[in-house]
Amino acid sequence: MSLDFLAVHAGPDAIARSPMEGLARAAGARFEVRDGWNVAVAFPSTAVASVAVASVAVASVPQAPGTPAPPVGWADTSHERTLELQAPADELDAVEHLRLGEAVRAGDAWWCRLTRTRALILGGVMPVAGALDVTSTYASLTLLGPMARETIARFCALDLRPRMAPVGALRPGSVARQPGIVIREAEDRYRLLFGWATGEYVWSVVADAAEHLGGRPVGIDQL
């Protein structure tokens, strides 16, 4: 018997859904089925928060014409494939893209070595020998914008100052009082990984913090 049943087999007859779909819908998301996943591709610019911080520009976020940039946006990226690789340390040492405490971008995937014997591979479509598909074990939100780090500081005690967490930093720790992982993907862009079952809770925490800083949810087309 294989472990095929662990993998998300998204397709037109079996739509895969994020645990945060309901909250995204409530925030006005426009959904499209992509690769079998029902993903929030865009949000109306009115899905904004109570407090606007209009003076902050977001250089790294492509914007639709006429849509003001939020100082922080968050997108549900739970649909991206997640693989878990477990092997003896010397075997993982031999894998080029795996370095402890770092997320290394290789192709279209992040290779994240969590411990000496355990790694996650985020994104990508290529098969990885010996890896388990744990896509729906980890829900994921991507925060971006100049206030992204400040937003995370409202619910996470990890030290994400640029010197301590340069681009590519991989930081397991408490995220919104839940076990989680933070990856600094780019200058003003962070990915949060957390348990699938806590998705709704973490979205609500992120939304609460981000909206207070003038943020709003964004669709994956804005990433």
The site for other proteins (CB under 8 A) is made up of 1-11, 13-19, 21-22, 37, 78-79, 84, 86, 132, 134-138, 150, 153-159, 161-164, 166, 176-178, 195-201, 204-205, 208-209, 212
CB closer to other proteins, 63 vs 115: 115
Rounded least distance, CB 199 to other proteins, Å: 8
Distance between CA atoms of residues 29 and 74, nearest Å: 12
Cα torsion for 171, 61, 108, 134, to the nearest 10°?
A: 50
Quick check: helix, strand or coil at residue 104? strand
Distance between CA atoms of residues 223 and 217, nearest Å: 11
CB closer to other proteins, 144 vs 158: 158
CB closer to other proteins, 32 vs 200: 200
Q: Which helix (H) or strand (E) holds 21?
A: helix 21-26
Rounded least distance, CB 65 to other proteins, Å: 30
CB closer to other proteins, 144 vs 202: 202
Rounded least distance, CB 67 to other proteins, Å: 27
Rounded least distance, CB 152 to other proteins, Å: 9
Distance between CA atoms of residues 18 and 12, nearest Å: 16
Rounded least distance, CB 30 to other proteins, Å: 18
CB closer to other proteins, 68 vs 172: 172
Q: Which residue has the tokens 């964004």?
A: 218
Amino acid occupying residue 121: I
Distance between CA atoms of residues 161 and 83, nearest Å: 28
Q: Who contacts 27 (Cβ-Cβ below 8 Å, separation ≥6)?
A: 43, 47, 207, 216, 217
Q: Which helix (H) or strand (E) holds 204?
A: helix 199-212
Cα torsion for 200, 201, 204, 207, to the nearest 10°?
A: -90
CB closer to other proteins, 28 vs 68: 28
Quick check: helix, strand or coil at residue 221? helix
Rounded least distance, CB 55 to other proteins, Å: 18
Rounded least distance, CB 205 to other proteins, Å: 5
CB closer to other proteins, 26 vs 64: 26
